Each structure stands twice: as C-alpha cells, then as structure tokens.
Amino acid sequence: MPGNVRDYLLNNLALPDDWKRVDEQRIPQIIERPTVIVKHDRFEKLPEAPIGALRNVVVLAVFIPNQDLAKAEAAMDDAMAELLTALDGHEAINWSEAQKVVTPNGLYPGWELSLSVISTPEPKE
C-alpha cells in the first residue's frame, strides 16, 4: 500500500455514505451524525520486510450522536460488526481489537479500533 494511510483507510473501508469522515485526530465538539476519525498513532519498523516497508499503527474511532442512546448504541453495534467483518476480508488492513469508548466531553458513545496497515514506498520510475 503506497501513499497516505489516512486517505487509504477512508477510501477503502466499507463505511456508510452518510457517515462523516475526519482525517485528523481531533474529535469534533458536536457530533450530528456517525463520525469516523482516523488517528495515525505511530510507525513501526518491519525488519523482515524490504527496506522502506512500515507497519502503520492507526486508531479508527467511530462516534454516534446520542439523541436516543439505546437505539443509537444498538445501531452502532450492528454497524461495527459489519465493518469488522469487512476488515477481516481485507488483505492490507489488520485489526486487533475494538473497544467501547466515549468522547472526552462525555456526550457521544463510540468505538475505537486498533488497526495496522503495511505500507511500502512508491516504486521509482
């Protein structure tokens, strides 16, 4: 996978069209629709891989508005199960865990997924 990991994830994940996509780690203060935030946490060296190949460790956070918390959480659980199933079939994206969280302001429930994506340098022409 050459290129920007955030763009790659947001373009290759099976996210519903009405979900807002945020390609930085700041969480919006107000969430009016399901929101996906990509936090590129760190790079790790892959000694067993060719030079320039890296493991990108990413936290993918998904938050939902909470007008009716019980219904919102049930819908979110279903959507997350679908997303995790789709990730299982993706050869370049690996997930290790999903944890239920709440935004720092305590208003919006969500999930954080730990992902790793292997990237390789762009081929030289």
Q: How far is CA 64 from CA 7, 28, 44, 73, 123, in A?
A: 21, 11, 31, 8, 39
Buried b (16+ CB within 10 A) or exposed e, 41-61: eeeeeeeeeeeeebbbbbbbb
71-74: long-range contacts (C-beta < 8 A, 24 or more apart)? 72/109, 73/109
pLDDT for 63-94, tens place per residue?
A: 988 777 787 788 788 878 888 888 888 888 89
**Per-residue pLDDT at 11 exceeds 70:** yes
pLDDT for 54-65, tens place per residue?
A: 899 999 999 988
- In the chain, the amino acid numbered 68 is D
- Rounded Cα distance between 37 and 102, Å, is 13
Report the predicted TM-score, pTM, of the whole model to 2 decimal places.
0.81
Asked if residue 60 lies in contact with residue 36, where contact means CB atoms within 8 angstroms, the answer is: yes
How much of the chain, in percent, has pLDDT values that exceed 70?
97
Among candidate residues 3, 54, 52, 4, the one with its CA nearest the CA of residue 24: 4
For the record, the structure tokens of 120 come out as: 């390789």
Q: Does domain 5-119 have CATH number 3.40.140.10?
A: no
